[in-house]
Chain A
């Protein structure tokens, strides 16, 4: 005799977890990353100015995340620890986004398969190369799926629509202002307008200091949006 109420098929269990994670992620706001003429820019819809979705991992690597804050914050710190430790034990140039993205995929995938509750997060790990062809944009889903993107990437609730808006209007060699405006309009969609209070943005500069990560201030964002 079957045991109704006890047996759940693996297909169903995975499906339920995926739905659960997707719902959690869809509740929050999205984040995009793209190449511009002097590096990579990340733009997130985020009303908080203290709880960040975008942050620095290492010299040329940034992290962007959407979903449940406490979960991606834990992943962010683990990434900083991994990168700093690797750079200290080996060399700074041995720290790369690909290995970091794989580690994240392992952890998120492990939790998805083995724990009762999956992580409600989607991550972007991006690295600015010394030349544009060495740029890396990795996208990690709640179930540990990794994908690499060429010039634009989006994560979050409405990521597919946002990504297609972004890809449709994207051109090579946008300047920072144009890239930021494109990011903001792709995040907003046709019916909304986002202002600098709704946005968090940072860049990885291709040239210049060792630590390429730089947050854009409210004033800079506001000026570039033409507010």
Chain B
């Protein structure tokens, strides 16, 4: 692989995607003939709280009625101050996240400064739009994007549609097959002045209810020690919660549910 050089005026600039195009790598062009039914099942969500955003996602991947993976991750850091959570066909989704991560870091290194949060959201929207032909054939990817806006000093979150439409949400957002149930739980429990702890518990409660109603969303699995991925994004950056902490929160939720059933 040679070192790429371009003439002025013919230069891809800080875009890694354009660079790949120019050097003959086209990472997202999947053009399968016919329709592929890839798994779309998931629940991922993001909730804004006083100091930032919490993102959470279940761990299950399905293939038809079968569980294909119990422990895949759907919440990733995009860069230091933002995260992306994926729903949709797993293969293209993971590839899109990888590309998105490099795109943000590449821009930062070439330009010597990070993109604005809005700029990052628009970059992701373009990747989703680029995936539209594959999405039409069943390989849709519909992520959530959230981050800490260092200019505004606040958490922000964005939802997308299959065509790359980008919609900023004020308080919370969810996507995936269990998102209806999760959203309802979040909506009922949400307050504007929540701290990180309250937002994390609300996110986990929402995931629990989504898993309870949607067969394609995985719940906590204490036998195997598999718990949803939860991360906070604040001025300190993207921080994933350790499993032990998530397990602790679930123990609290479990006790509460037992009381309800008793």
Contacts and interface: CB of A to CB of B under 8 A. Distances in A.
Say whether A and B bind each other: yes
Nearest to A87: B102
B69 interface: no
Given A85-B23, A88-B99, A78 B4 contact: yes
Given A78-B3, A107-B3, A107-B5, A85 B20 contact: yes
Contacts, number: 54
Interface string A38-60: 00000000000000100111000
Nearest to A213: B109
B4 A84 contact: no
A103 B2 contact: yes
Contact of B25 (A85, A104, A106): A85
B1 A55 contact: no
A82 interface: yes
Contacts of A88: 16, 20, 25, 27, 98-99, 102
Given A52-B112, A57-B109, A88-B102, A81 B3 contact: yes
B110 interface: yes
Given A55-B109, A88-B98, A89-B25, A81 B19 contact: yes
B106 interface: yes
A126 to B, nearest CB: 16
Contacts of A211: 105
A80 B5 contact: no
A195 B195 CA distance: 44
A80 B109 contact: yes
A103 B3 contact: yes
B1 A89 contact: yes
Contacts of A52: 112
Interface in A70-122: 74, 77-82, 84-89, 103-104, 106-107
Contacts of A55: 109, 112
Contacts of B1: 82, 85-86, 89
Given A55-B112, A88-B99, A81 B25 contact: no
A85 B109 contact: no
A211 B20 CA distance: 22
Contacts of A77: 110
Interface string B15-28: 01001100101010
Contacts of B112: 52, 55
Contacts of B5: 74, 78, 107
Interface in B1-51: 1-5, 16, 19-20, 23, 25, 27
Contacts of A104: 3
Contacts of A84: 16, 19, 102, 105-106, 109
B6 to A, nearest CB: 9
A80 B2 contact: no
A60 B19 CA distance: 22
B191 to A, nearest CB: 34
A87 to B, nearest CB: 7
Contacts of A82: 1-4
B9 to A, nearest CB: 14
A55 B106 CA distance: 13
Given A55-B109, A56-B109, A88-B20, A81 B102 contact: no
Contacts of A86: 1
Of A79, A81, A89, A104, chain B has the most CB atoms within 10 Å of the CB of: A81
Contacts of B23: 85
Given A78-B5, A85-B19, 15 more contacts: A55-B112, A78-B4, A80-B106, A80-B109, A81-B4, A82-B4, A85-B16, A87-B102, A89-B1, A103-B3, A104-B3, A106-B3, A107-B3, A107-B5, A211-B105
6 contacts: A52-B112, A78-B3, A79-B3, A81-B3, A85-B25, A88-B25
Interface of B: 1-5, 16, 19-20, 23, 25, 27, 98-99, 102, 105-106, 109-110, 112
